[in-house]
Amino acid sequence: MVLGIENQKNTHPRMASRMLLYDAALIDAMSRKKPCIYISLVVYLGEKRWKAKTNVLDELKVPKQYRKGLNNWETYFIDLNRTDPNIFQHKDNQDVTKLIQALYNWDGHSMIFKGLNMTREVILAAVSATNSYEILAELKSLEETSLEGEDYMCQAVTNALKKAAQQAVDEARPAILQEGMLEGERKGMQKGERNTFLHLISKNYIKKFGSLSEELKAKISEQTNENLEMILDAIPDLHNGQDIMQFLVN
């Protein structure tokens, strides 16, 4: 069996006839060698709904009264942004579909990606498919780290958000006449960073030492963003849970 997959990020108005030409060429080539079963499939990776027809007769606008006996050449079609991930048997295919849908419905906060249990390859595939170039650049910059799954994705998103927020501030700075406006933007950016730092510290600490007491969690939550970032970087080198105390500032 041969499976031909055509990936599309945008609607193609003549996709049905295009697939007919692809199929005919491949079937002709295979029939000259060794006949086999051939199936073609269009996988749509776009955010908006597919608008083109998926069969030749609809594409050509053939009247219904003339269609009897004509080959319709229906294209097998999957819209990943609107497909139940559970139709796939392999976990990686389910995960790619889930993450593509999460990215297209993203509200701008990294917490939407909490709980991801996905490989780096799956994350990179979904981010690439959705043209999330800023996040993709940050994922590649983290390739030499030991981060996996949700930590890998959340850190990349946090880095991308920080850069985007700073770029927005830098671009808007000449037009800002009131210091209060700039201060509001800075506090908004810091709040997003803070939530991500607290989540990653809790996640990594529990992963290494088993649990995190409410008392210690409260002390950590009192730290500045700069100190939280230092604590997050230090956790892999801690020998026991109490070593974190040396990084806490009263």
Instruction: Tell me the two tokens of residue 171.
Output: 């671009």
pLDDT of residue 89: 94
- Contacts (Cβ under 8 Å, ≥6 apart) of 60: 17
CA separation for the pair 153, 201 (Å, rounded): 15
Q: What is the DSSP string of 21-50?
A: HHHHHHHHHHHTT----EEEEEEE--SSPP
Decide: 249 and 219 in contact? Cβ < 8 Å: no
Give the angle 172-104-6 at the CA atoms, nearest 5°.
125
pLDDT-derived band of residue 41, with 50, 70 and 90 as boundaries? Answer: very high
Condensed to tens digits (0 to 9), the pLDDT of residues 154-213 reads: 888 888 878 877 777 677 666 544 555 445 545 555 566 778 888 888 888 888 888 888
- Mean pLDDT computed over 135-159: 87
Share of the chain above pLDDT 70, in %: 89
- Contacts (Cβ under 8 Å, ≥6 apart) of 245: none
CA separation for the pair 209, 241 (Å, rounded): 6
Q: 11-15, 91-95, 137-141, 161-165 — which is least confidently predicted?
A: 161-165
- Mean pLDDT computed over 62-70: 88
CA separation for the pair 50, 133 (Å, rounded): 22
Burial class (CB in 10 A: 0-12, 13-18, 19+), 90: exposed
pLDDT of residue 94: 93
Q: If you average pLDDT over every residue of the chain, what do you get?
A: 83
Condensed to tens digits (0 to 9), the pLDDT of residues 70-122 reads: 888 888 899 999 999 999 999 999 999 999 998 888 877 666 777 778 888 99
Share of the chain above pLDDT 90, in %: 28
| Domain boundary assignment for the chain | 15-82, 91-247
pLDDT of residue 57: 92
Q: Residue 213: how many CB atoms within 10 A of its CB?
A: 9
